[in-house]
Structure 1
Amino acid sequence: MLQSKILTLLAEHDQALTITAIMEKLRFSPDHLPLLHKALLYLVENGTLEKKGSRFGLPAQPAALSATLDLNAKGFGFALIEGEDTGGRDVFIPPHQLNGASHGDHILVMITGTSRNRREGRVVRIVSRAVTRLCGLFTATAKGGHVLPDDNRLPYTLLIRAGDDRGAADGVAVLAEITDYGSERQGPSGRVVEILGDPRSVAVQLRMAIFQSGLRDRFPAEVEAEAAGLTAVTTCSGDRVDLRHLPHVTIDGETAKDFDDAICVEKTTEGFTLHVSIADVAHYVRPGSPIDREAYLRGTSVYLPDTVLPMLPERLSNDLCSLVAHQDRPAFTATLTFDHQGRRISQHYRKSMIRSRQRFTYTTVYQLLNRIAPEMQAPHADLLAMLDQARQLTALLKKQRMARGSLEFNIPEPQVTLENDHVASISLAERNEAHMLVEDCMLAANEAVAETLAKAQQTVLFRIHEYPDPTKLEAFTDTVRALGLIIPEAEVNPAWFARVIRQAHNAPAEYIVNTLLLRTMQQARYSPENVGHFGLAASFYLHFTSPIRRYPDLIAHRVLHALLTGQSNEIHDLPCPEEDKDPVRAGLHLSQCERKAIDAERNAHARMAALFLLDRIGDHFTAIISGVTSSGLYIALDGNFISGSIPLNSMTDDYYLFDARRHRLIGEHSNTVYQLGNRVIVRLDHVDLAGKRLIFSLTSGEQTDEGD
């Protein structure tokens, strides 16, 4: 775009330029003079440029801000300003202000104004390119071919000239390298560096998901070497207390291999004592070591179908640090006492040595608590009383949380089952009483540690969750009313949201209400400033209970240990790698690592859904309408919540009008209504594997009885 070229040119020069100089530097011919003159006058009139005599230049303004570009598939982007934690209010970059920048690029941004309480800006310079390699599908041509990027945030195809295709066959997935980023008139070009294989393969799709998300899937040699040289802790020396007499147990999923938390509950005359013992990762991972630097860069473990990208090497995550049953393991134990109402009355922390009595699964604990499988009672008779006491305590803890307004989202997660490199099924993961029992124990420990460190004025990363955005809150309220729910006439606080959730419980639109509420909320993040956790209605909260898979938990362990041993004093830096000790910067980095992991997991599930339905085109499904727009409907399939869309142009039985306020489409002639939350019968028409999109159509306009 001419205006962008002019602005970029002037941004790169310290002084204003004449129109002749601008023409020369842009290599324009005299024929371009009228068009250039018109563009310059427009930029002067709207205040983007200043005219000083015969020269044109940028107006005096603050220096450009260093940022990373997060590009949306729709063409616009957001600039994530370096060192700035905005809680989701990044700088909006319209498509015409991108200046050729692409997703992930390091850019310089000028703020141009504000719209809807969000700053807007333009890219003035691309400092460095983020995407130098990309995955995609190769299309062969007589002169070579081209690669359609697997990431729809990259709005171009990559030209591959003859001889640079490594013999790739038409339609295969490849890894390509960009050798020339091209220009506005000509797209980028490159070469194929690796042939990945059949895009219908699960293994190929998961590898593409990992590459697209920029995840680290291999540990450097020096990290593996350091991990291999570590020595297991087997004795209680120094300040480590022997707690092997306590009947600790771990409770995890069937496929879990890294056990980082164990619990034990005792009933007392005062009420209950809860021991939450967490793997002592901090003993093995020293600040600034190669393992620590790699763990900080990763920030979190990432869980994909049948694949885990761990934060720590396997020697640590599945061996030395894992609280394996019947083996002595070093831990950091939080001992919390509660009265008969479930109110915490004291807390005590210590390094410990524990021995887990049993590696339980959620299913087994649920069966034991409810005496479902009699044959399982005898082998675990010595632990039944402890589990029953844990059930009693966590029921009280939950009651206390609910009373203060803590939110309980009910959004089942899809569970992918793989067999022989194909997707065998996608179902909803079971969530039972045992899951909630463990969660309540972990929440109690996290809150206690957060309160202890906050009151001791220690520098740590809190897990904060701020008040919802007012604009999103207003939209949520309108939507809930459209679904027929009654909005509480009270102050909007966590308890207000909890009442809405309870009202939707077991209703047809429960999934929609919970999903919309989650979107209304601000993203939880890590910050050295404790502002509380809105969703939990907690004044103090941080992450302490999963240091094997989350770096902020490791920070909390180090800070708490320094406090207990009198080493903290006036420390204002975090116990992180040397260059990232600044608390604000570390909080921003680790929040971004978490979002990258979440995006990668969603990306992988979308790929698995496309593969799962690839051979089911023409099949019919029941679904719930999860979104209504002027361009059509969005739906989620019953039984697995696989998402898809119904384009408006496929609804040819009538002319449909969009009612934005009530979130519905209305047939102009038939008066047929398709509203958010309605259940419909749909047919799968198209699977876009490259775009990870599923296209459906309505079956004869039918709706199920439940949605009428």
Structure 2
Amino acid sequence: MSLSQDHIRQLLAEADHPLGVKELLRVAGLNPGQQTELKRALRELVRAGIIVKDGKRFRLEGPRTPRAPEAGVEARREPSAPPFKKRGPTPGSGREERGGGFRDDRQGFRGGDFRRSLQRGSRDDRFEDSGQPAVEGILHMHRDGFGFVHPVTGEGENIFLPPGEAQRALDNDRVVVEVAGRPGRFEGRLVRVLSRRRELAVGTYVAQGRHSLVMTTDANLPGPIRVPPTQMARDGDLVKVRLGVGADLLEPGQGLFGEVAGSLGRPGDPSAEVLGSAFAHGFSDEFPPEVMDEADAFAVKVTEAEATEGNRRDLRSMPLITIDGEDARDFDDAVYAEPRAGGWRLVVAIADVSHYVKERSALDAEALNRATSVYLPDRVLPMLPERLSNGICSLRPDEDRLCMVADMTFDRQGQRRSHELYPAVMRSVARCTYNEVQDVLDGTDVPHRNFLKPQFEQLMALARSLMAMRKARGAIDFDVPEHKVLLGEDGLPQRMEKRERKDSHRLIEECMLAANEAVATYFQDEGLPTVYRFHGEPDPQKLAAFAVLAEAYGFQLDVEDGVSSKELDAFITQLEGHPEQRALNQLLLRSMMQAVYTSTRVGHYGLAAENYLHFTSPIRRYPDLLVHRILKAVWARKGKRPSEAHLEREEERLEGMAQQCSERERAAMTVEREVVAFYAALMMKDRVGEEFDATVAGIAEFGFFVELDEVHVEGLVKAETLGPGSKLDKRTHSLVYANGRRVRVGQKLRVRLLSANTTSRKIDFEALQFADEAPLQRTTGARPPMRRREAVTEAPGRHTGGRPGGREREAVKTGRTPWRKPAAEETPDAEQWKSLAEAEETPFGVKAWEPPAAEEIATEDAAALSGYGSEASEEEAARPRPRGRFSREGRREEAAPARSTSRFLRARPEEAPAPKAEPATPAKGKRKVIRPTLPASDEGAEAGPPEEARAPREDFNAGRSGEEPASRAKAPREDFTPPSFDADDSAPAASPHPGFDRIRALAAQRGQLSTGAAPGGASKKVRKAASGASSRAKPSKKAPSGKKSGGSKGAGKTPGRGAPGKRKR
């Protein structure tokens, strides 16, 4: 249902109480997607004083006379009004006039608007006092929330919008901004939105009850889009959404409303990505109903009345032909050439679209809004409905069509002698393709086109004459190849190929250029306003920078006194055949100005033409349609010249249309570029890891771009993949590394595909080898490994981050060498253990022993020894160990007190209790800690003092994580008298940590296995005893020190829990 202010007033008048927004939606029969539009209408009615807002409800009120604000107090603002827009007093703002309560009295004093209105010298005042005129431009959002406004005139600097301002409009909106700041640092504030470029979006439909959501991947849209439930799509389908936003400024964080316009199928369809790119830049794949109604009203054939009306000439007997691509469906130009005395006659007939698309019609408004057709690999988004573009306006063969004609004559040197413009009716004799024309010119037999060979030869002879004339005049011919995506029947890309520029292409180009120049000359001679195609001189600074770059490659370009187009074309001719030709052509193009449409400036630098415009493609370009319409207006005046005031108004009107066409042309180019990049990533994503030959095509600070020689796909090689210290040398346009490597455009290299992202449309490569160089060393990934500080394995003890522990302090006093992790070659492997055992020595200074077999002990015990007697894996060895006084299963624990026996040990029936070892007599008043002693040397030398002969302490817990035991050279405490490992004690000596006792117990088990009975019942008992020893047991407080639990009473039975001995004093 439509929404109008009168309808809202009627609803409020009929209601017996104030209505809220949701109640108004229900009463008016509107859908939730129109809530934003309803709020906008309500705000306008409140500002006009027609209705009054009571809290969140609205009621009808007659208009009131605004009350003047008190002296020294600023006028109140409505909360819904933008904080920066200066307004007078709100109508009916007085409490006694409204008759409302306290809430009404505070209207306009909510939030930050009131505070900002009283701040002097604030941001609002900065904009008001800047003196800068408001700027009209196109908003381009950044993914981080801020944006830039590009002036529609193409002149001046871009204006920065902070996130709070940029998010009040949508990407590609045409807006007006106020400007503050200095050159190079301009900041803007949104005033209003002139037009919404974006009406559609693509996303995934998510059903959620009353308000479903469409999750879009477009980062420039503010979050998900709320839509009413629909039967057009299932949950999870890709859908097309029509956004329900008007021309009002948005409230940041409020989100968007819309309605589902159609289903696009399930996710993964490439066509959805293509449409998403087109929708994001303001293009659409559908036309409004009123536009389609106008298009459907036209007949499918030209009537005789139309063919004979006015001064239209009859050219149906002339053998005009159309030449287009194989996949073209809209034919808007036809040509004919015949020899004349000393030259040729050239007739260029263009479809008369202006006969059908009248000014101020719905067709004309939609055509201006689009301004151009968008040609994509899988579809065309036409400027006009297909009933016109592919039907009545298209110059189909053997059908009568209305046309506008440029009739010209040229001499043998390609100079135009005369030109005449007139409307006509024509009938094309053939629809030819570029390949067919080229085959005929090359002498190939083409049966259905051989009869046109004389015509093709005349056209080619004229085209060569025109090319020579333009070359002598100084026209620039860059000859930059274009890429074309070829799709398969399933819609997936098959390959990328370069569009070869053949003589048949040049033939049509020269004919169209000649017609465009002739029409532009006509308007210039008559002094009448029109829309020209303007191309200015290159930027002097950019051109000077390019001259320095060209000099680095051995080419000279003098730019001190400016460069004419003829001199620049001569320079480009020098590049032909050079390996860097394509790259240098691309860099030179970047220094050139971009061609635009305008009604105030004439001349085309690149074509070396004094006057130039677009006349030959009205089906797909709106400026051409404008030129046709202006020509007809001139002919209708029959030589009468309009007044100067009328000409000024007309020029101003045309300038606005020209800016619109320039902006839409750039948007179409962006869409086409994004879609090609998407198909390139889609085609390459299954070839990750493959290697290709490539050429450096461009340089940037973050890396360099390469183009594959065979696949014709471009991608990025990130700078850090070749090493650190890269820097862009702007003088030579090369990437210089700290190691002396220099990467320049045109270099040949071998690359490997690392990734192809269809969402970001980016392809990353890794450089493997440059031409005539050795292969690069690092070829494992896109990013080099991060430089990390090498993990230092610390000895058991206090955390080194705080005050050092006692052992560390004593090591400093005695000058001991700090503990270090043993090198890889110091850690013996399984084979070295065997040889070391025979020599009775180990690198840790203790007697070597052979680790027990894993199947003979419990799993837990085998894990405890896995790092001691076997080779640890590289990953485990590289993993840093946890810190703490003692590390155990990743936890920090305090040192356990010394015990005479291990709680892991179990008594065996075969063994008799061993005599208790005599402990050393401790000094009076000191606590004695018992630790292992060093074994005697091979020569039988006696052990020295504890400080000199003590064995380094081993971290057996490291074996649990796969690391080898590490030696330690910390100075020991003086109250330590370690017993020998070789002592023949049946009970192990006390230790400061259960890990020592555990190893000793297992060693004793191993010794018993090697000296026990035959492997029958004895070995079975040993395995059973070992299994019992692997489980942890509670220590018994009543067991005597130095005796095993169970004693002689347990002979022949499974031992019970072991009891540790009393602590030694």
Distance 1:581 1:313 in 2: 29
Q: Is 1:362 paired with 2:434?
A: yes
Distance change (3 Å), C-alpha of 1:326 and 1:60: closer
8 Å contact from structure 1 (residues 573, 582) kept in 2 = no
Distance change (3 Å), C-alpha of 1:163 and 1:697: farther
State the 1:75 CA deviation. 6.3
Q: Counterpart of 1:518 in 2: which secondary structure?
A: helix
Matches within 5 A, 1:344-383: 344-371=416-443, 373=444, 375-376=445-446, 379-383=448-452
Residue of structure 1 aligned with 2:589, choices 507, 518, 529: 518
Distance 1:242 1:282 in 2: 18
State the 1:159 CA deviation. 8.8
Q: Is 1:92 paired with 2:159?
A: yes
Alignment correspondent of 2:471: 402
Alignment correspondent of 1:53: none
* More divergent stretch after superposition (239-248 vs 538-547): 239-248
What is the identity, as a one-letter code, of the residue corresponding to 2:461? Q
Q: Is 1:442 paired with 2:515?
A: no
Q: Is 1:111 paired with 2:179?
A: yes
What is the identity, as a one-letter code, of the residue corresponding to 2:586? T
State the 1:648 CA deviation. 2.3
Alignment correspondent of 2:282: 214
Which one has a bigger Cα radius of gyration? 2
Q: Is 1:637 paired with 2:708?
A: yes
- Report the aligned-residue RMSD: 4.1
8 Å contact from structure 1 (residues 87, 523) kept in 2 = no
8 Å contact from structure 2 (residues 145, 163) kept in 1 = no
What is the identity, as a one-letter code, of the residue corresponding to 2:337? V
Distance change (3 Å), C-alpha of 1:562 and 1:424: same
Count of paired positions: 661
Matches within 5 A, 1:516-665: 516-567=587-638, 569-570=641-642, 582-639=653-710, 641-652=712-723, 655-665=725-735
Residue of structure 2 aligned with 1:424, choices 494, 510, 516: 494
Task: Provide Cα deviations, 1:461-500, integer angstroms capped at 9, x if missing partner.
Answer: 1111112223332333333334443224663121232123
State TM-score, norm by structure 2.
Answer: 0.56
Distance change (3 Å), C-alpha of 1:60 and 1:610: closer
Distance 1:311 1:57 in 2: 39
Distance 1:448 1:95 in 2: 48
Matches within 5 A, 1:682-693: 682-693=751-762
Distance change (3 Å), C-alpha of 1:359 and 1:530: same
Q: Counterpart of 2:344 in 1: which secondary structure?
A: strand
* More divergent stretch after superposition (673-682 vs 226-235): 226-235
Distance 2:316 2:157 in 1: 49
Alignment correspondent of 1:310: 382
Distance 2:501 2:311 in 1: 39
State the 1:450 CA deviation. 0.4
Alignment correspondent of 2:335: 263
Distance change (3 Å), C-alpha of 1:527 and 1:26: same
Residue of structure 2 aligned with 1:277, choices 349, 365, 372: 349
Distance 2:684 2:198 in 1: 30
State the 1:187 CA deviation. 8.6
Residue of structure 2 aligned with 1:476, choices 514, 528, 546: 546
Distance change (3 Å), C-alpha of 1:474 and 1:145: farther
Distance 2:259 2:719 in 1: 38
Distance 2:653 2:201 in 1: 33
Q: Is 1:229 paired with 2:314?
A: no
What is the identity, as a one-letter code, of the residue corresponding to 1:702? F
Q: Counterpart of 1:694 in 2: which secondary structure?
A: strand
8 Å contact from structure 1 (residues 301, 549) kept in 2 = yes
Distance 2:701 2:684 in 1: 26
State the 1:696 CA deviation. 1.6
Distance 1:111 1:64 in 2: 6
What is the identity, as a one-letter code, of the residue corresponding to 1:218? E
Quick check: which one's strand share is greater? 1
Alignment correspondent of 2:319: 247
State the 1:390 CA deviation. 1.1
Q: Is 1:460 paired with 2:533?
A: no
State the 1:61 CA deviation. 3.5
Distance change (3 Å), C-alpha of 1:167 and 1:199: closer
State the 1:267 CA deviation. 0.7
What is the identity, as a one-letter code, of the residue corresponding to 2:153? T
Distance 1:573 1:633 in 2: 55
8 Å contact from structure 1 (residues 482, 663) kept in 2 = no
Q: Is 1:501 paired with 2:611?
A: no
Residue of structure 2 aligned with 1:203, choices 271, 274, 278: 271
Residue of structure 2 aligned with 1:122, choices 166, 188, 193: 188
State the 1:253 CA deviation. 0.4
Distance 1:75 1:475 in 2: 33
Alignment correspondent of 1:694: 763
Alignment correspondent of 1:675: 744
State the 1:624 CA deviation. 2.3
8 Å contact from structure 2 (residues 198, 281) kept in 1 = no
State the 1:62 CA deviation. 5.0
8 Å contact from structure 1 (residues 264, 390) kept in 2 = yes
8 Å contact from structure 1 (residues 199, 205) kept in 2 = no
Q: Counterpart of 2:139 in 1: which secondary structure?
A: strand
Task: Provide Cα deviations, 1:142-193, integer angstroms capped at 9, x if missing partner.
Answer: xx99987544555x65498999998755xx7565688999988x69577995
State the 1:663 CA deviation. 2.0
Distance change (3 Å), C-alpha of 1:124 and 1:594: closer
Alignment correspondent of 1:388: 457
Distance 1:57 1:227 in 2: 47
Alignment correspondent of 2:924: none
* More divergent stretch after superposition (390-399 vs 239-248): 239-248
Distance 1:275 1:329 in 2: 15
Q: Counterpart of 2:391 in 1: which secondary structure?
A: helix
State the 1:272 CA deviation. 0.8
8 Å contact from structure 1 (residues 632, 645) kept in 2 = yes
Q: Counterpart of 2:686 in 1: which secondary structure?
A: coil
8 Å contact from structure 1 (residues 219, 313) kept in 2 = yes
8 Å contact from structure 2 (residues 130, 180) kept in 1 = no
